[in-house]
Amino acid sequence: MGFSLIDYAIVAVYLLGVTIVGIWIAGKQRTSRDYFLGGKEMAWWSVGFSIVASETSTLTFISVPGLAFKGNMHFLQLAVGYFIGRLLVSVIFIPAYYRGDLETAYDFLGKRFGLSLRKFTSTVFLTTRVLASGVRLFATAIPVHLITGLDYWSSILLIGVFTLVYTYVGGLKAVVAMDVVQMFIYLSGAVASMAIILGRLPGGWSDVVRFASANGLDKFAVINLTWGGSVMAFLSAPYTLLGGIVGGTFLTMASHGTDQLLVQRLLGCKSKWDAQRALMLDATFIVIQFAFFLVLGVCLYAFYDGATFQQMGLSTSDEVFPKFIVENLPTGVAGLVVAGVLASAMGTLSSSISSLASSTYLDLFKMTARGRAVSGKSELLWSKAFTLVWGVILIGGALLFTSSKNPVVELGLKIASFTYGGLLGTFFLGMIFPRVNQRDAYVGFLAGIAAMVVVLTYTTIDFTWHTLIGCAVTVAVGNASRFVLGPAASA
């Protein structure tokens, strides 16, 4: 059906509206605490929905339906692990964070082990976050490119500039408020798409079920008990039951317990209880959301009569849903769905910019002699300056992934998994092992990173196991360092 002027108008109104409202809702800011933590006054429910929007991005909106389109619903096993991981974070990590007046996730490591480790882990976060966020931003350029004909750079610039404006001016309050709005926009677009698909199929839902089970297929299969005949074959198989639950649990403990992107919001709540409620709201909602987007992928498979994405002339399964949006949605609805695509991306991009800037300022710059001398109005100016710098870097960094042929949801998770294990293991060393000192934590963390280099270079182990492996090596080597080298003074 194409993209009409009305659809373009809807997208334009969305982009301008969310930017203006985001700026207006932020209110007056006086310090970096107001700018990066919302003054620690944010409502738990808005933080919970904000976390959903931040972690959803276009990876979920586009790539998860693509996974079900080309395969089945085995990805949902990860969601079970995600729920368990969030529960453990609320019980283990959040109480530890609220025992002190922490500013970032890495502030905990600084108070436990010393400033040096705080700066080092923050630097690791900055490096991996900018790469992973570049993947997410590029993912959004896929549908924008297909719909408008703009090249990838122009598409990325369109999304990035509007997001950077309200993030720069409004800080975390604007990010959280707009995340809530954007979440309901992208969900409305996805629900409208599924309703239209079911309405176009002669048999409605029964046609979806028929195609999902045709020719021996079982696209609704959730549980994968594949063994493979050997331990390595089992560890290399994607989306197995044990890999999904255990891997998803450890991946979530790392992402929601050690990654400033999400911890920043939890630290902005009024109390420990509010942070725990926010995280469990997110845990419940995210499982339902993953299930919905996977079912949407099965519906798309039925809509296209069981064709593969190659038969449709597409290069990856990520392009199936954008193709449907462009060719089949009626005027107005197409604009709403594309606004939803942009909303899912802008929610994550704004969160990435804010978390990168907060970690840079609070963990690195503020800890220098020059940073400690800054106060009041100058503190806020520095905070905004780092926000602007990271926004520009993220927009440019997205271009690194324009030639990728892998499903972007998997690529994004693999990048995150590289350092998540080491970070999670280091936090465990600080929370569970009181005799471990900064030297031991350094040795363990570096060993965890080295282990991931070996795993990624010489094995085919699936990314779902990466965080667990890195964490286990970090904890084991950190404790071994304490035993072999003996006690040493903490920094």
State the pLDDT at residue 198: 95
CB-CB contact of 315 with 140 (8 Å): no
Q: Provide the pLDDT confidence category of residue 331 given band limits of 50, 70 and 90.
A: confident
In this prediction, residues 478-489 reach a mean pLDDT of 84
- What does DSSP assign to residue 310? T
CB-CB contact of 84 with 284 (8 Å): no
**Which residue pairs, CB below 8 angstroms and at least 24 apart, start in 280-283?**
280/48, 280/86, 280/87, 280/90, 281/44, 281/45, 281/48, 281/49, 282/48, 282/49, 282/51, 282/52, 282/55, 282/86, 283/82, 283/83, 283/86, 283/87
410, pLDDT greater than 70:
no
Q: Tell me: the pLDDT tens digits for 24-34?
A: 876 677 778 88
SS3 of 30-84: the string is: CCHHHHHHHHHCECHHHHHHHHHHHHHHHHHHHHHHHHHHHCCCCCHHHHHHHHH
In this prediction, residues 376-380 reach a mean pLDDT of 79
pTM: 0.86
318, pLDDT greater than 50:
yes
CA distances from 306 to 129, 207, 217, 326, 415 (A): 37, 11, 10, 19, 32
pLDDT winner (highest mean) among 31-40, 66-75, 311-320, 458-467: 66-75
Q: Tell me: the pLDDT tens digits for 119-147?
A: 999 998 888 888 777 777 776 777 677 66
The CA distance from 136 to 349, in Å, is: 8
Residue 336 tokens read as 């709403």
State the pLDDT at residue 491: 42
Mean residue pLDDT across the chain: 86
State the pLDDT at residue 447: 96
State the pLDDT at residue 386: 94
The CA distance from 408 to 62, in Å, is: 9
Residue 395 tokens read as 């927009």
Q: Provide the pLDDT confidence category of residue 400 given band limits of 50, 70 and 90.
A: low
55 vs 13, more confident: 13
428, pLDDT greater than 90:
yes
- What does DSSP assign to residue 329? P
DSSP H helical ranges for 149-271: 152-200, 205-212, 231-236, 241-257, 260-267
The CA distance from 202 to 195, in Å, is: 13
In this prediction, residues 232-236 reach a mean pLDDT of 84
The CA distance from 3 to 432, in Å, is: 56
Q: Provide the pLDDT confidence category of residue 488 given band limits of 50, 70 and 90.
A: low
pLDDT winner (highest mean) among 53-57, 62-66, 137-141, 433-437: 433-437
State the pLDDT at residue 414: 60
Residue 48 tokens read as 């919970």
CB-CB contact of 430 with 258 (8 Å): no
CB-CB contact of 273 with 94 (8 Å): no
State the pLDDT at residue 490: 43
- The torsion angles phi and psi of 227, rounded to 5 degrees, stand at -105, -50
Q: Which residues of 313-342 are buried (b: 16+ CB within 10 A; e: fewer)?
A: ebebbbbbbbbbbbeebeeebbbbbbbbbb
Least confident of 115-124, 362-371, 398-407, 458-467: 398-407
The CA distance from 130 to 386, in Å, is: 14
Name the 3-class secondary structure at 269: strand
Q: Provide the pLDDT confidence category of residue 82 given band limits of 50, 70 and 90.
A: very high
Q: Tell me: the pLDDT tens digits for 243-256?
A: 889 989 999 999 89
Residue 52 tokens read as 């959903």
87, pLDDT greater than 50:
yes
Name the 3-class secondary structure at 270: coil
CB-CB contact of 441 with 429 (8 Å): yes
SS3 of 442-475: the string is: HHHHHHHHHHHHHHHHHCCCCHHHHHHHHHHHHH
**CATH code matching the domain that covers 5-405, chosen among 1.20.1730.10, 3.40.50.2300, 2.60.220.30, 2.30.33.40:** 1.20.1730.10
- What does DSSP assign to residue 368? S
Counting every residue, how long is the chain? Answer: 491
In this prediction, residues 212-226 reach a mean pLDDT of 87
The CA distance from 52 to 308, in Å, is: 30
457, pLDDT greater than 80:
yes
CB-CB contact of 323 with 69 (8 Å): no
Q: Provide the pLDDT confidence category of residue 3 given band limits of 50, 70 and 90.
A: low
State the pLDDT at residue 38: 84
233 vs 52, more confident: 52
Of 285, 287, 304, 306, nearest in space to 219 by CA: 306
406, pLDDT greater than 70:
no
State the pLDDT at residue 284: 94
326, pLDDT greater than 50:
yes
489 vs 46, more confident: 46
Q: Who contacts 338 (Cβ-Cβ below 8 Å, separation ≥6)?
A: 3, 7, 10, 11, 143, 144, 147, 189, 325
Of 244, 221, 248, 219, nearest in space to 234 by CA: 244
CB-CB contact of 378 with 35 (8 Å): no
What's the half-sphere exposure (Cβ side, CA atoms, 13 Å) at 63? 25
Q: Tell me: the pLDDT tens digits for 98-108?
A: 987 788 999 99
The CA distance from 386 to 379, in Å, is: 11
Q: Tell me: the pLDDT tens digits for 175-192?
A: 888 888 888 888 888 899
CB-CB contact of 468 with 250 (8 Å): yes
Percentage of the chain beyond pLDDT 70 is 91
In this prediction, residues 362-367 reach a mean pLDDT of 88
In this prediction, residues 61-67 reach a mean pLDDT of 86
